[in-house]
Copies of this chain bind each other. A is one copy, B any other.
Amino acid sequence: MIEKSEKDSREGLLINITGNGKGKTTSALGTCMRALGWGWQVSIIQFIKNKQENGEKRFAATIAENLEMVQCGLGLTHNSRASDAQHIEAARNAWEKAKSHLRAGKADLMVFDELNIVLKLGWLDVDDVINALRKRPKRVHVIITGRNAPDKLIAASDLVSEIKEIKHPYKSGIKARKGIEY
């Protein structure tokens, strides 16, 4: 079902990119590229991703004047050693940072990468998140990514895309690739 949302064209959109297919984070990053092209300020907060090198981070470092990117997670892989309590603490710290950035309104576009997962895992309260999103400066666009977006957050969003995996090389044992997956 395609739902409607009522927004003035000068108001920032709340966008959610969810689903099990490849392309959620990259879609958000590509929108950042567009926004940067127009000279906007952009801020990306990566919730799950840890300090490991990735292409977007290396890239952001080259254009640091307009694009801020912080990785606030502890990773979420089978060999990640963080406890639930540590993940929850990291998520809360990331969310405090996200909220203070939202309130300050310095960025025209903010990306909260993997926030859907954090909410799904119950590390943050979805009502608190929606509340803070509602109170943001009106012009600010927000893109949230991650699988399994909560229904309440979808209801609060202006634009939601679901990326479905049709075919993925992981199935035949290809590892994540530099430049494509990270």
A residues near B, CB below 8 A?
1-7, 9, 13, 15, 17-19, 21-38, 40, 54-60, 62-63, 108-109, 141, 154, 157-169, 171-172, 174-175, 177-180, 182
Contacts and interface: CB of A to CB of B under 8 A. Distances in A.
**Chain A interface mostly:** mixed
Please give the count of copies of this chain that the complex contains: 2
B35 A179 contact: yes
Which 7 pairs of residues, A with B, have the shortest CB-CB distance? A34-B55, A29-B30, A26-B30, A37-B55, A37-B59, A37-B58, A21-B161
A15 B22 CA distance: 10
* Of listed A6, A57, A141, A167, residue having the most chain B CB within 10 A: A167
Nearest to A59: B37
